[in-house]
């Protein structure tokens, strides 16, 4: 391949490395998952039945937390966590801009103000030093995100929160199964959110959970998930008038997970160790394959934590390439590799721009965004899929090499 503008059609029109599009993420379901769902469909309860608590208990046990509260999706779970943290008008919450919009939106649902702290240039995670300087008398909480599956600096962030009396809501949508200094994510922050969207580690179709060690936060989360209503005798504000009596104590939502979803979740969770091991194996193969590729910066992992690898992101060194990130992205898609970009910085979205956030508030995240591409990564990938990705990346980068 001759590397000139005129030769571009050769690459675009050549035979792709594979015939079918390999998605960037996808669920792994087997017959036992399907049986679990069917059994629930035949059972008396489709919702508000026994499968919910079973699933919550298995999540809590797996991560080593005292409680888990399941929600209809991860975003609803984050909303519940912000409610439980009593975030409201006038409160500031610090999070990262290099995340899915839901990490920030949950603050807005409660009327709070989002403050974006910049990331570390090596891990792409929120920088605890930058959190420190952004804490004001109005700061109420921190929502760190374990970006791509690598836990944030939990010790530093929890210490900071303790000193300044803040609540930490860890967005662990990417990091189910990850560990930090020998402890599982989900047992450390005040509240931790996991998502069960099909691209995440285990799925319930749509679904999410908050884990916590606090009895008080647990009660608030339960209330919020179900209209703000309780029937528990010992929690009632008034005398129960009879067995029919229940009370709406807060303006909650209907954010319940169904038993059908929970049954799927319990079945899926039995395979979490297998899923995470496969994700780690795929990430290792990518990192080895691209270790000496000049135009690629592979993900950096801190030694005291172990990512569960929701995403594998390559950072392009555009100074070594003749094409743009878009050229390379498009060429990989033409090779039937379902690459993606995670994420457009949250403050670039029109909604946040209208609120007054400007380019320049998180220069490292903004700069990172310019060169990143997410490669396919999910447990059901076979070895040939991994090889296809590696071959396609090498082929495209060779074509665009300076
Ligand atoms: C997936 C995700 C969420 C939201 O989860 P849903 O279950 O899709 O609502 C929140 N934060 C991050 C970082 C995510 O990746």
**Domain extents for the chain?**
31-269, 272-399
| CA 76 / ligand 1 centre spacing (Å) | 10
The reported pLDDT for the residue numbered 6 is 45
Q: Which atom of ligand 1 is closest in space to residue 77's alpha carbon?
A: 9
The reported pLDDT for the residue numbered 236 is 94
Which residue has the CA at smallest separation from atom 14 of ligand 1?
A: 173
Q: For 272-399, give the CATH class.
A: alpha beta
Angle between helices 383-399 and 325-334 (to 10 degrees): 140
Give tens-digit pLDDT for 9-42: 556 568 999 999 999 999 999 999 999 999 999 9
The reported pLDDT for the residue numbered 145 is 98
Task: Identify the DSSP state of 319.
Answer: G
The reported pLDDT for the residue numbered 313 is 98
Decide yes or no: CATH 3.40.640.10 for domain 31-269: yes
| CA 95 / ligand 1 centre spacing (Å) | 14
| CA 169 / ligand 1 centre spacing (Å) | 13
**Total-model pTM:** 0.96
Which residue has the CA at smallest separation from atom 2 of ligand 1?
A: 173
Query: In whole angstroms, how far apart are CA 387 and each of 11, 79, 325, 376, 384?
Result: 19, 40, 22, 11, 5
Q: State whether the beta carbon of 100 lies less than 6 angstroms from ligand 1.
A: yes
Give tens-digit pLDDT for 129-154: 999 999 999 999 999 999 999 999 99
Interatomic CA distance for residues 155 and 170, integer angstroms: 12
Which residue has the CA at smallest separation from atom 5 of ligand 1?
A: 74
Are β-strands 179-180 and 167-171 bridged in parallel, bridged antiparallel, or unpaired? unpaired
Interatomic CA distance for residues 339 and 313, integer angstroms: 10
Residue ranges for the chain with pLDDT beneath 50? 1-7
Q: State whether the beta carbon of 75 lies less than 6 angstroms from ligand 1.
A: yes
| CA 72 / ligand 1 centre spacing (Å) | 12
Residue 390: count other Cβ atoms within 10 Å of its Cβ: 19
Q: State whether the beta carbon of 172 lies less than 6 angstroms from ligand 1.
A: no
Q: State whether the beta carbon of 310 lies less than 6 angstroms from ligand 1.
A: no
Q: State whether the beta carbon of 306 lies less than 6 angstroms from ligand 1.
A: no
- Check if the beta carbon of residue 191 is closer than 8 Å to that of residue 222: no
Q: Where are the beta strands (DSSP E) in 66-207?
A: 67-71, 92-96, 113-117, 139-143, 167-171, 179-180, 183-184, 191-195
């Amino acid at each position: 391949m001759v590397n000139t503008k005129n030769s571009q059609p050769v690459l675009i029109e050549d035979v792709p490395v594979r015939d079918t599009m390999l998605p960037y993420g996808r669920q792994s379901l087997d017959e036992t998952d399907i049986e679990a769902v069917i059994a629930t469909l035949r059972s008396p309860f489709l919702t508000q039945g026994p499968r919910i608590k079973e699933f919550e208990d298995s999540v809590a046990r797996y991560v080593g937390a005292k409680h888990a509260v399941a929600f209809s999706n991860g975003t609803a779970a984050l909303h519940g966590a912000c409610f439980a943290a009593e975030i409201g008008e006038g409160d500031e919450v610090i999070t990262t801009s290099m995340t899915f919009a839901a990490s920030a939106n949950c603050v807005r649902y409660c009327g709070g103000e989002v403050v974006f702290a910049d990331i570390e240039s090596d891990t792409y995670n929120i920088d605890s030093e930058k959190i420190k300087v952004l804490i004001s008398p109005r700061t109420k909480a921190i929502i760190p995100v374990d970006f791509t599956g690598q836990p944030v600096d939990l010790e530093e962030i929890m210490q900071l929160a303790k000193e300044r009396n803040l609540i930490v809501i860890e967005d662990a949508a990417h990091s189910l199964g990850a560990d930090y200094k020998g402890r599982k994510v989900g047992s450390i922050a005040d509240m931790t959110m996991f998502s069960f969207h099909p691209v995440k580690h285990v799925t319930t179709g749509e679904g999410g959970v908050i884990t916590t060690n606090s009895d008080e936060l647990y009660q608030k989360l339960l209330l919020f998930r179900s209209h703000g209503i309780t029937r528990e005798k010992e929690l009632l504000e008034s005398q129960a008038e009879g067995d029919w009596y229940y009370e709406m104590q807060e303006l909650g939502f209907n954010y319940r997970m169904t038993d059908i979803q929970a049954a799927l979740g319990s079945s899926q969770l039995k395979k979490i160790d297998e899923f995470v091991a496969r994700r780690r194996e795929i990430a290792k193969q990518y990192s080895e394959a691209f270790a000496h590729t000049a135009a690629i910066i592979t993900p950096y992992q801190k030694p005291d934590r172990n990512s569960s690898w929701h995403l594998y992101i390559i950072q392009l060194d555009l100074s070594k390439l003749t094409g743009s990130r878009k050229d390379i992205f498009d060429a990989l898609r033409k090779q039937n590799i379902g690459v993606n970009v995670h994420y457009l910085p949250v403050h670039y979205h029109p909604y946040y721009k209208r609120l007054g956030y400007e380019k320049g508030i998180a220069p490292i995240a903004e700069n990172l965004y310019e060169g990143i591409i997410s490669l396919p990564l999910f447990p059901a990938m076979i070895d040939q899929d991994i090889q296809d990705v590696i071959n396609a990346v090498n082929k495209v980068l060779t074509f665009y090499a300076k």
